[in-house]
Structure 1
Amino acid sequence: MVGSVWAALGLSLTCISALSLISPAWFQTTTFSFGVFTYCSWSQGDRWNQSCGTFRSLDNIPDFAWKVSAAMLLGGWLLLAFNAILLLSWALAPKRLCPRRGSGPMLGVQAAAAIATIVGLLVFPISLASPFAKEACLVSSMYCSGQCQLGWGYVTAILNAVLASLLPMIKWPHVTEVQQRTILFSSDTQSIILMPEMSK
């Protein structure tokens, strides 16, 4: 049961992280928005009719800090996905195959994913000084969004990073196996004798 909960949390974090990465709403104006890998534009007052594009490779990303951020965020997402697959496999595997489910590399992988994501999120606002961001946000500079507003994609990525960094701190519950004892009643002495159960 505990393994299933952890697997569900890992899958949820992976899906939320993927959603924020493909979102074009990290910074937005009234007619333009951009994220790490996508950007969209629309005419004034007609937000439903958007024209969107993607940065298909790191070479197409307009700024070095943006490239570093994209690489870190993508690396964090890949680590989250690997961690989710590991959690899912441990949750679905029979107990006799994985007797020590609480140990292993998964807490380290989760922590590495959180660190990579946090670094990527901290580096991304440096790219607001790039020509691409300056054209979109007009007077933007490093860590200053100018006329752009913070979008839901960046906020979602921040919340996801917070959750991903908190989960490794919550350790797996340790199940202590209590040694079973056999209780014998002696009618001669009117006392109770406790004997450890013999292994079969």
Structure 2
Amino acid sequence: MVSSVWAALGLSLTCISALSLISPAWFQTQTFSFGVLTYCSLPQGNSWNQSCVTFRSLEDIPDFAWKVSAVMLLGGWLLLAFNAILLLSWAMAPKGLCPSRVSGPMPGVQAAAATATIAGLLVFPVSLASPFAKAVCEGSSAYHGGRCQPGWGYVTAIFNAILASLLPVISWPRVTMTSIQGMTIFFSSDTERIILVPEMNK
């Protein structure tokens, strides 16, 4: 049951991360918005008639910091997707094959995904100093949006990174220790085993 919850969380984080990556609303004005992979222009007062363009390769992305951020964010998403597949297979595997089913097989993959995503989020605002962003945002510079405001895509990516960084911490194996009648009992929530160890007399 617990492993199924972790698998569902992993899949949810992967889907939310993909949604934020393809979103063009990372920084936006009333008539223009852009994200990591897409930018859109929309007529004044007509948000339904917008036209969008997707960067098809790294060469099309207009700034070096933007390219670095895109690589980090895509790498973080790939690690999230890989971790979600591992968690799903972990949850669906027969219990006899996987006695340790609580925190998943590889919490380090989730931590690496969170690290790459956070690094990409920190690098992306440097691209506000690019000629592309300056033309759109009028007076923008690194970590200063000018006329552009952060959109829902960037905010969603930040919340997703926070959740992805918290999950490895709360899923780490926890071991508690209890002393009963001269015996020390270790309860491991990860291995689901009880280990009895005699106490040493002082």
Greater Rg over alpha carbons, structure: 1
Aligned to 2:176: none
Q: CA deviation at 1:102?
A: 4.6
With normalisation by structure 2, the TM-score equals 0.85
CA–CA separation in structure 2 for the residues paired with 1:89 and 1:101: 11
Aligned to 1:120: 120
**What is the one-letter code of the residue matched to 2:23?**
S
CA–CA separation in structure 2 for the residues paired with 1:71 and 1:177: 42
C-alpha change, 1:105 and 1:94, in structure 2 (3 Å) is: closer
CA–CA separation in structure 1 for the residues paired with 2:131 and 2:191: 56
Identity of aligned residues (%): 78
CA–CA separation in structure 2 for the residues paired with 1:129 and 1:46: 28
C-alpha change, 1:176 and 1:169, in structure 2 (3 Å) is: same
CA–CA separation in structure 2 for the residues paired with 1:174 and 1:99: 9
Whether 1:174 aligns to 2:201 is: no
Q: Secondary structure at the match of 1:44?
A: coil
Aligned to 2:100: 100
Aligned to 1:182: none
Aligned to 2:9: 9
Report matched runs for 1:74-93 at 5 Å.
74-93=74-93
The answer (yes or no) to whether the contact 2:99–2:191 under 8 Å persists in 1 is no
Aligned to 2:183: none
CA–CA separation in structure 2 for the residues paired with 1:86 and 1:125: 32
CA–CA separation in structure 2 for the residues paired with 1:132 and 1:55: 13
The answer (yes or no) to whether the contact 2:24–2:36 under 8 Å persists in 1 is yes
Report matched runs for 1:25-104 at 5 Å.
25-102=25-102
- Return 167-176 or 135-144, whichever deviates more: 167-176
Which aligned segments of 4 or more residues in structure 1 are displaced greater than 4 angstroms?
102-105
Q: CA deviation at 1:53?
A: 0.4
The answer (yes or no) to whether the contact 2:107–2:168 under 8 Å persists in 1 is yes
**What is the one-letter code of the residue matched to 2:76?**
G
CA–CA separation in structure 1 for the residues paired with 2:14 and 2:38: 19
Alpha-carbon RMSD across the aligned residues, in angstroms, is 1.5
CA–CA separation in structure 2 for the residues paired with 1:119 and 1:133: 20
Q: CA deviation at 1:105?
A: 5.2
Deviations 1:119-157 (A, max 9, x none): 000000000000110111011000000000110000000
The answer (yes or no) to whether the contact 2:86–2:105 under 8 Å persists in 1 is no
CA–CA separation in structure 1 for the residues paired with 2:126 and 2:168: 28
Q: Secondary structure at the match of 1:96?
A: coil
Count matched residues. 179
Q: CA deviation at 1:100?
A: 2.7
Q: Secondary structure at the match of 1:170?
A: helix
Report matched runs for 1:180-195 at 5 Å.
none
**What is the one-letter code of the residue matched to 1:72?**
M
Q: CA deviation at 1:174?
A: 3.1
Structure 2 unaligned spans of 5+: 174-188, 196-202
